[in-house]
Structure 1
């Protein structure tokens, strides 16, 4: 799964036009293969429905085909009337009886000559497939000598009697007949055709033995003839079974040919319709006979279409699909550039479409009385696309997918309408989803969507209550199935495509997340700072119509890298010695900036989505690490001796509204905490100054925030910050504000710098930003 995920991620990074055309072309070809062969077919009209259209006349002459199930039943009846063919093999009988006679003659000579050499005995019996144990030889010797009356054994149990009995049993079983297959694989009352050359007899199969019943039959025969002589019974059975073989051989291939011939004789049609003959009148009820005519006309159209050049029809289908897909393609190209520029997301949409199209294709292939077309789970795809992207993408996709499904089902636009309405209801239920269980709220709405269209179309077509009931029953199952599919596929797609849906963000915003709990335990000051930033960011994002949940999650995770060296950041020092006092400014700046790289490493280890990792790398943009830069300048006593790039964050600058808001939230939260004796005026001035500073420094150039947005963000920040610091507010005097500069060093030094800017450069910047009015 990880390999697939990496492959999809690489596809996402390649904004290749060729890849887009490959995805679209493959999609068109696969869907075209699912379209019905030949000409387009009409919708299905069930028995009992009232024909609401005009009188229907035959456009050409065609035969009336039998119902498929009835036709198959007749073929099955015809095949059951064919007798299984068994060929009598008399040569096997003659050969085995002759061998049995010769066997006893050889056996008598061996016993009479008293051959004791085992090798000589084997040489004599090598032509017979039988071996005797010592005890059996002893029994044979006794039986043979009983004939010479050298022993007191009654002559009834002699070798000659054994020979006659074995020969009699073997010959009798051959006369009865032995088949070479298990009788259990046939019916108990099976009749067979027993053939011998040109003669044929129809006889019941159960009068014969199969080779698996021989042992029991032979044993019972000899037990009745040799009472209390177990050794003799065992010997007789062994000899008899050696010379018994099936003499009735099942002719499977011949039987199958005769069955096929009988099935082919069953007529496929029950009549014919002439050209221009009326098939059904307006408002006439569809009977089984009329249903056969309608189905036959549809089949005849398909067969007539099969004569058209297959490449021409395939081209027509492909162009039709391409035209339908062009609607969603143009919408994505014009209004959803992020999706258009991400080939992985285009692949995701295509796979969802193919999944639904394949289900539609299966409903065509599976025949039955139930209206399986209402099992096509378009509402599930509608919900998935709403959750992953937005409701507009989902609605456009639902429209396109409904048209494709209608085409696959032979221009069945009634299912297109039903799917479109049910899909729209499904979109409505999850457009503002906040938790996964909310998906199951769609069950009732999806069913309502189907019910409205099913009842409306049913009334229009005069469908019976039974038909409407079946349709509503299947639709209700779809309503239950769709949210279950949505729930399962969402989890799968979030992992494979590394997509952060609104549900993913809600999960990540849980403060019990292991990564956030680590931050709390290792860097408690940074954790509380992140919580405050997330609150500010969410409120500001909501104020300008951005994604508040994404901004909140970005605020929570933006500083996770600080847990790698928590003691080097002022909010975690808690009165301990500031280690930066003994470090060079350049080293301190490098350590401070490293929390971004550390954060990315932690984010990758914990599989955070890419849009959440953006907050980690962008929340400082390319800002100065101002305190240590100025400290280095003071030490060198000349700005030219200090490389300014050594004291900048690596960037990039924020590219979205949400990442820009977190940058601003991070700055105002830290700078507000540094204000001594904060008041409402001080807080407002501080927020105003920081936003102006970021604006003038160009840190907001890559995002789409405008001045109206910035003003609303400022108002949101002030409202939240005043609430946080209300216990320390004093009125009404106005103090000098604190222009935040991204410093993460010593709090005392920072407070000093806030009230007394270090040099003329900062004073000039302060005067410049004071002249900007965000309102």
Structure 2
């Protein structure tokens, strides 16, 4: 049992990767839309490239979207409007009219004329309430059939134009008065009608909508059917018209037929195999070409998390509406991975993700071509992501590539640009704008996964930051030394293709531990007093060695990223504090060498190895007297060769050729620092 537990503990990293691999596969398959995939590809207006196709089962021919929309439009045009009638309103209005009429018209008018005017007013009311007055204004078509209800009973049926709307009441009264020739009394009538006329019709929205829904529900979405074994299309026959619609119907029916209870498990199993193969390729790539990432479970989790997120977002959009597929900013994936790792890993992961999505998206070849091309452009164009203008330029290029590729595919499919979907170009623009979200996303990932990007490195490289200001105040000599090392290391990194921004930040912070006892280091001694004179060689060596541990402690307190702390840990490797060891040796022949060795570890990356070289060369160069080109060459060679002899670069992925290039850069930079000229022969 104990051996079993020990075995699990020793292999816990691999066990975690296996569990992550399985869980990611299960989650991706779960997220895939639950529908089958038609095995034939066809394009409207192009010849059928496959063998003769016979119906594999009975299925109905579905109507086109245009046909269904036309039927819906016709039903909507012919649907009824329903209005509720208030029968008491007209009675009340007529009673109020009778009372108000005799109060409004003067007694000086003759009785016959008064009776005529009274009857004229009744005619106006008859016209107003012949169908009714609406309680509000509507924008319905005048030809719309309108049904007037008294409770549940239909009272009248007419066109909507015969109903009087609120905005038309005054106009209608004026027309009727003018037609009945009541000149001189218009104002009297208007004052009466303005006071007594009330609406008696209200729109029954619920009944109108329910009636429309009932009619729409009767629409048949199919027309005719195809029997099993019927020839659908022959090889070479052009896919158009009725043939195209039959194929589309078969494709849609096939998707629903495949995911039946009997073969559901087989289809899921097949999807699982394909996802397993894709993710396995990703893991093998990491193990073969990025072993440092493969060995870091946090980084592997981060990569798999990003793949899952892209599948999740795409699946959600597909389930909602596949027309919005190209609004998903898939190019965020290579951008993020390039920011934290490198371009090759970013592109490979992007391709694997696109292959996975190709299993579920419509027009998979077109989709994969567009996305892989955009991913390549992303990797090739985006450099120095911390510069905002570079991201905007890259997003513009990505959007342009999407538009050009989509335009080319559309012309190939349709043969013309007459029916091109311009709204798709708008989706590509929105996709480009969504890609700009990568900047805040990188910040969130840094906090969640403890990673560091070039954007954060740029912030850390600011010499006005709190920690570097403190270093310049407490240990000005060390601060100046760190700046010189940063310049040397950055130049060397550019020469061999290392991460120049990372190494510059590492160089700026590598000696922050010296702030604890600044005067014990020669670059900070300005008074001529050396505190080491009061200490034994062993005590002095301990103070010198402790600046590494002190630096790690200060860095963690100030929340510096682990990638930066690695430079503090490794910049002396397991080298010897040679001066104090020799001093102790002269006093005690039995002095232990282990007491004068830095705790390490040795540099384990190209960047940390470069920093060790530059730090040693810059520090030792202060001891050069009357430097010449030949002296500098010998000096650089000796220091770096000693580091190589003590196997300080054994764990770093740096080659002899790269070390020679770094030596060349350091020699050239030191010659510039000391303003050396060519030595002419005497």
- TM-score, with structure 1 as normaliser: 0.64
What do the CA deviations read for 1:412-460 (whole angstroms, capped 9, x no partner)? 2211111111111111111565634312211232133223422332232
Deviation at 1:605, TM superposition (A): 2.7
The correspondence for 1:630, drawn from 541, 564, 582, is 582
Higher relative contact order (CA 8 A, sep 6+): 1
Counterpart residue number, 2:110? none
SS in 1 for 2:225: strand
The correspondence for 1:59, drawn from 40, 55, 60, is 55
Deviation at 1:260, TM superposition (A): 9.7
Does structure 1 residue 324 correspond to structure 2 residue 278?
A: yes
Structure showing greater Rg: 1
SS in 1 for 2:61: strand
Equivalent positions of 1:511-550 (< 5 A) are 511-550=463-502
Deviation at 1:349, TM superposition (A): 1.7
Counterpart residue number, 2:534? 582
What do the CA deviations read for 1:459-491 (whole angstroms, capped 9, x no partner)? 321255255343651453155225313223222
The correspondence for 2:377, drawn from 410, 422, 425, is 425
Deviation at 1:524, TM superposition (A): 1.2
Cα gap change, 1:349 to 1:707, in 2 (>3 Å): closer
Cα gap change, 1:350 to 1:702, in 2 (>3 Å): closer
1:42–1:410 contact (8 Å) kept in structure 2: no
The correspondence for 2:613, drawn from 654, 657, 664, is 664
Cα gap change, 1:338 to 1:73, in 2 (>3 Å): farther
Deviation at 1:569, TM superposition (A): 1.6
Equivalent positions of 1:433-582 (< 5 A) are 433=385, 435-462=387-414, 464-465=416-417, 467-470=419-422, 473-474=425-426, 476-478=428-430, 480-582=432-534
Q: Distance in 1 between matches of 2:366 and 2:588?
A: 80
Q: Distance in 2 between matches of 1:639 and 1:365?
A: 80
The correspondence for 1:645, drawn from 591, 594, 607, is 594
2:54–2:233 contact (8 Å) kept in structure 1: yes
Cα gap change, 1:367 to 1:273, in 2 (>3 Å): farther
Counterpart residue number, 1:353? 307
Counterpart residue number, 1:300? 253
The correspondence for 1:31, drawn from 28, 32, 49, is 28
2:492–2:666 contact (8 Å) kept in structure 1: yes
Equivalent positions of 1:126-205 (< 5 A) are none
Q: Distance in 2 between matches of 1:367 and 1:537?
A: 52
Q: Distance in 2 between matches of 1:463 and 1:354?
A: 37
SS in 1 for 2:331: helix
1:562–1:569 contact (8 Å) kept in structure 2: yes
Q: Distance in 1 between matches of 2:473 and 2:396?
A: 45
Counterpart residue number, 2:622? 673
Counterpart residue number, 1:365? 319
Matched residue count: 565
Cα gap change, 1:478 to 1:390, in 2 (>3 Å): farther
Deviation at 1:617, TM superposition (A): 1.0
Deviation at 1:496, TM superposition (A): 2.0
Q: Distance in 2 between matches of 1:349 and 1:69?
A: 44
Q: Distance in 1 between matches of 2:415 and 2:80?
A: 43
Counterpart residue number, 2:222? 269
1:14–1:343 contact (8 Å) kept in structure 2: no
Q: Distance in 1 between matches of 2:418 and 2:18?
A: 47
Cα gap change, 1:27 to 1:73, in 2 (>3 Å): farther
Cα gap change, 1:607 to 1:283, in 2 (>3 Å): farther
Counterpart residue number, 1:603? 555
Cα gap change, 1:310 to 1:524, in 2 (>3 Å): same
Q: Distance in 2 between matches of 1:601 and 1:437?
A: 37
2:327–2:428 contact (8 Å) kept in structure 1: no
Provide the aligned C-alpha RMSD in A.
4.0
1:622–1:652 contact (8 Å) kept in structure 2: yes
What do the CA deviations read for 1:528-561 (whole angstroms, capped 9, x no partner)? 1011112222222333333333322222211111
What do the CA deviations read for 1:266-292 (whole angstroms, capped 9, x no partner)? 5442322345354699685856x6665
Cα gap change, 1:193 to 1:277, in 2 (>3 Å): farther
Stretches (4+) displaced over 6 A: 42-46, 68-84, 187-196, 200-204, 255-264, 279-283, 727-733
The correspondence for 1:697, drawn from 643, 646, 656, is 646
Deviation at 1:306, TM superposition (A): 2.8
Deviation at 1:378, TM superposition (A): 2.1
Cα gap change, 1:325 to 1:724, in 2 (>3 Å): same
Deviation at 1:345, TM superposition (A): 1.7
SS in 1 for 2:292: helix
What do the CA deviations read for 1:320-356 (whole angstroms, capped 9, x no partner)? 2222333323222211112211222222222222222
Consecutive unaligned residues in structure 1, runs of 5 or more: 1-12, 87-182, 205-251, 734-775
Q: Distance in 2 between matches of 1:479 and 1:609?
A: 32
Q: Distance in 1 between matches of 2:398 and 2:575?
A: 51
Deviation at 1:704, TM superposition (A): 3.7
Does structure 1 residue 713 correspond to structure 2 residue 662?
A: yes
The correspondence for 1:40, drawn from 37, 40, 45, is 37
Task: Point out the more displaced range, 20-29 or 446-455.
Answer: 446-455
- TM-score, with structure 2 as normaliser: 0.72
SS in 1 for 2:560: coil
1:500–1:609 contact (8 Å) kept in structure 2: yes
SS in 2 for 1:674: coil
Cα gap change, 1:192 to 1:348, in 2 (>3 Å): farther
Cα gap change, 1:195 to 1:464, in 2 (>3 Å): same
2:282–2:352 contact (8 Å) kept in structure 1: yes
Deviation at 1:314, TM superposition (A): 0.7
Cα gap change, 1:361 to 1:676, in 2 (>3 Å): same
Deviation at 1:57, TM superposition (A): 4.9
SS in 2 for 1:272: strand
Counterpart residue number, 2:190? none
Deviation at 1:14, TM superposition (A): 9.1
Cα gap change, 1:647 to 1:64, in 2 (>3 Å): same
Counterpart residue number, 2:329? 377
SS in 2 for 1:270: strand
What do the CA deviations read for 1:369-395 (whole angstroms, capped 9, x no partner)? xx4222232222122222322222222
Cα gap change, 1:520 to 1:53, in 2 (>3 Å): farther
Deviation at 1:30, TM superposition (A): 2.1
Q: Distance in 1 between matches of 2:474 and 2:384?
A: 35
Q: Distance in 2 between matches of 1:345 and 1:467?
A: 47
What do the CA deviations read for 1:575-605 (whole angstroms, capped 9, x no partner)? 3522222223333222222211221122223
